[in-house]
Structure 1
């Protein structure tokens, strides 16, 4: 293990670094992590508990080994995502588009499901659509009924979207009627989570500026946790998912006070 960095990292950054070390080294020990990060043993053990709860590592006596989950920070790019669960995403997208009213100012989060909403927006009138996804902006450019506001920022390679402080600043100065939000994972305990810290901050801002927040989440993502939380369940006004959701997950969500709209998929 390399000599430690004396700079104090935020908890999220430190845990990301720990998870990466576990994946690369195959095994780490608490004393080594204490020395490397200049943190107390109690803090490091807390980090390991959090990472184990997310499925990123497995704790051992005095240390940790890799878990079954992919390495922290892993996320399939949009090419891989498009091929997975596309019928589910299209069904969810169609239902979500039905919530859009003429004259609305809406925000579409980056992602495959929000991109699929575009074809169903052509029949609406006088829409203003904010996007940080270059592909979505390109699609909407051809719709005469839509004014497109493209949010600038740092390009996230492989995902065709903008993130970073400039994107957050631009978004924070605006207000929208509805935000249609994607997520990598959702659970009643942890809320909405994503592997990328920059993406998480953009999503938090998208939530803050909206009158209504609609989460588009296919059933495969429910009951899962990723690395960074960007929304508590209570910040979501409506969840749209598909009929493959388990009865247990649906019950947990409704008992937690979430409004859930289930779109039937054959």
Structure 2
């Protein structure tokens, strides 16, 4: 297959699904990892795709673009799993937690689905379905109503009204973007309002986001960075971003496999 044919195939796959992974393209096209990455880089240079760690995204509106749940699920899988496993260590039996919509928070829900006597408040249809099917003893799932978004979140006044009556120990929040100046953002105005209501339910806000979310700015701010208590991310988060997070007073946990390391712990080590 000629380079132009490969690139046309990659572009078609991105446009059809919204996202592709390098490993999947290697298998499908029968070429090396390096060849696929060069093809993606070429398409990104021409403005035809958006290159991200581990794959490519379809280009479209920037701050107001909201990729679908399936498209986002295909990216950063190992990092999302590590983040989920790290965050799951914070959850004990009998706790009441909130889980926002998102693909990283979905992996977190998978990691805590066997925790007994857990009460979960969520506006995510996939999260609610996953926990409902777990059959774990004593587990209670509270699903807000609302209008369904492309990311499978339930949002709007019905969701906000339901959340105003609820209280949880800790919220596990997924975000579209993180930035030192504008904070945590989403491309969906109504989802921002619903996420703000989720934040109000919680005594502690824990953000689950891989490093590619840093520097991404969505249309609407959910909360400023200094309103976050804890950020669980992966080792790809750069030193400048880590400094900005610490300076905002946010505890930073770097998720690695098979265990987690906290920046606080690492600094204390000789």
Q: Same fold (TM over 0.5)?
A: yes
- Secondary structure of 2:169 counterpart: strand
TM-score by length of 1: 0.71
Q: How does 1:108-187 map to 2 (within 5 A)?
A: 108-142=99-133, 143-145=135-137, 146-156=139-149, 158-187=150-179
Gaps of 5+ in 1: 1-67
Q: What is the aligned partner in structure 1 of residue 253 from structure 2?
A: 261
Q: How does 1:30-41 map to 2 (within 5 A)?
A: none
Deviations 1:159-208 (A, max 9, x none): 22210001001001110111000111101111101110000001101111
Report whether the alignment pairs 1:214 with 2:202.
Answer: no
Report whether the alignment pairs 1:77 with 2:68.
Answer: yes
Q: What is the aligned partner in structure 1 of residue 228 from structure 2?
A: 236
Residue 118 of structure 1: CA displacement? 2.4
Residue 75 of structure 1: CA displacement? 1.6
Residue 72 of structure 1: CA displacement? 4.0
CA distance in structure 1 between the aligned counterparts of 2:114 and 2:161, rounded to whole angstroms: 32
Q: Is the 8 A contact 1:244 1:265 kept in 2?
A: no
Gaps of 5+ in 2: 1-58, 259-270
Q: What is the aligned partner in structure 1 of residue 77 from structure 2?
A: 86
Task: Give the count of matched residue pairs.
Answer: 198
- Secondary structure of 2:127 counterpart: helix
Residue 71 of structure 1: CA displacement? 4.0
TM-score by length of 2: 0.70
Say which one has the larger Rg. 1
Report whether the alignment pairs 1:98 with 2:78.
Answer: no
